[in-house]
Structure 1
Amino acid sequence: MYIQIEDVKKSYGEGGSYTQVLKGITTSIKQGDMVSIQGTSGSGKSTLLNCVGGLDQVDSGKIMIDGKDIVGLKTEKLSDYRREYLGFIFQFYNLIPNLTVKENIEACKYLTKSPLDMEELLQVLGLKEHENKFPSQLSGGQQQRCAIARALIKNPKLLLCDEPTGALDSKTSKEILILLEQINQTYKTTMLIVTHNNVIKNMMDQVIVVKDGVIKQDYRNETKIPAAQLEDL
């Protein structure tokens, strides 16, 4: 397995404010799969994603990525892991407002020794005609495409997406999901997608449902359908 998570626990606070968010998460994920992590607000799904991304340190357990345990890595090694392995996409695009589309993407290009081709990426993501625009001149969907391109330019092995369609309307959400599917098929990028949208699971290879800090369901999707056929987003 490409990702192996074993009995991961995570808490915040002390004393009266102590909260255990993850209560022993165990799962495994195949390389090249698209995986949804679902659950209601406060279920622990985003915390789990942050732990896999090395943004949060766990209390106990193992998170094996390509055979390497990232739990307990020192700050410098964690930075190396995020730079070499990961791309992040968030609900809010976090673009640099005074940089153009192309400049926003280039900001991450120099973090890797083997970036994807900029021109190809602009074409694939439908951003070529917008490359010299600033974020304020883009629609929400175009800003999310730029954020996706910025994450992908590093040619990451693992793409972590936290509510990537959460701020978008239904039509634009479908366009972004079709785009993520296309990226997965083209670059074989493993994707973990946190979402509260129950429809998105239908296009996934694996579905993980988290409730109150534990996994309630974890299964292979035998009836996977293309993103273009999703309804009621």
Structure 2
Amino acid sequence: MYLEVSDVKKSYGEGGSYIQVLKGVSLQVKQGDMCVIQGTSGSGKSTLLNCIGGLDTIESGSIKVDGIEIAGMKADELSDYRRDYLGFIFQFYNLVPNLTVRENIQVCEYLTDQPLNMDELLEILGLTEHQNKFPAQLSGGQQQRCAIARALIKNPKLLLCDEPTGALDSKTSRDILILLEKINATYGTTMLIVTHNNSIKNMVDQVVIVKDGQIRKDYYNETKVPAAELEDL
């Protein structure tokens, strides 16, 4: 398995404010698969993603990516792990406002010795004609495409997506999901997509349902629906 999460526990606060967010979570994801982690607000799904991404530390358990244990890594080791293995896509795009689309992407291009081809990526994401624009000149969907390109340019082995369509209308959401599907097919990128949207689970290989800090369901889709055919986005 490419990703192995075993009995992970995570809590915040102490005394009266103590809350256990993850209560012994375990899951496995195959290399090259698209996996949705679905749950309501407060279920622990984003915390789980942040732990896998090395943004949050865990109290106990194990997280292995490509056979490498990240639990217990020091700050500089986690930084190297994120640089070498991960791409992040968030609900809020976090683009640098005074850099153009191309320059925003180049920020991450410089982090790797083997980046994807910039012009090819711009073409795939429909950004070629917008590459010299600044974020304020883009629509929400175009800004999200730029954020996706920035995450992908360093050719990450694992793409972590936290509510990637949460701030978008249904048509733009569908366009972004079609792009993620195309990227998965083109580059074989393993993807974890955190969402509360009930339709997205129909387009992926694996579905993980999180509730109250525990995994309630974990199954593979027998018949995937293409992103272009998803309903009720």
**TM-score normalized by structure 1?**
1.00
Q: Does 1:45 align with 2:45?
A: yes
Instruction: Show the counterpart of 1:209.
Output: 209
> How far apart, in 2, do the equivalents of 1:113 and 1:70 lie?
22
CA-to-aligned-CA distance 1:84-135 (integer Å, 9 cap, x gap): 0000000000000000000000010001110001111111100000000000
Runs of 4+ in 1 over 3 A off after TM superposition: none
Alignment size in residue pairs: 233
Q: 3-state SS of the aligned residue for 2:36?
A: strand
> How far apart, in 2, do the equivalents of 1:232 and 1:15 lie?
42
Deviation, 1:223, is: 1.5
Instruction: Show the counterpart of 2:110.
Output: 110
Identify unmatched segments of 5+ residues in structure 2: none
Instruction: Show the counterpart of 2:156.
Output: 156
Instruction: Show the counterpart of 2:147.
Output: 147
Instruction: Show the counterpart of 2:98.
Output: 98
RMSD, matched Cα: 0.4
> How far apart, in 2, do the equivalents of 1:232 and 1:79 lie?
38
> How far apart, in 1, do the equivalents of 2:150 and 2:171 lie?
22
> How far apart, in 2, do the equivalents of 1:122 and 1:223 lie?
31
Instruction: Show the counterpart of 2:20.
Output: 20
> How far apart, in 1, do the equivalents of 2:27 and 2:152 lie?
25
Deviation, 1:44, is: 0.1
Q: 3-state SS of the aligned residue for 2:156?
A: coil
Percent identity, aligned pairs only, is 76
Q: 3-state SS of the aligned residue for 1:136?
A: helix
Q: 3-state SS of the aligned residue for 2:217?
A: strand
In structure 2, give the amino acid aligned to 1:70. I
Q: 3-state SS of the aligned residue for 1:198?
A: coil
In structure 2, give the amino acid aligned to 1:13. G
Deviation, 1:225, is: 1.1
CA-to-aligned-CA distance 1:10-55 (integer Å, 9 cap, x gap): 0001111111000000110000000000000000000000000000
Deviation, 1:203, is: 0.1
Q: 3-state SS of the aligned residue for 2:20?
A: strand
> How far apart, in 1, do the equivalents of 2:70 and 2:23 lie?
19
Q: 3-state SS of the aligned residue for 2:23?
A: strand
Instruction: Show the counterpart of 2:77.
Output: 77
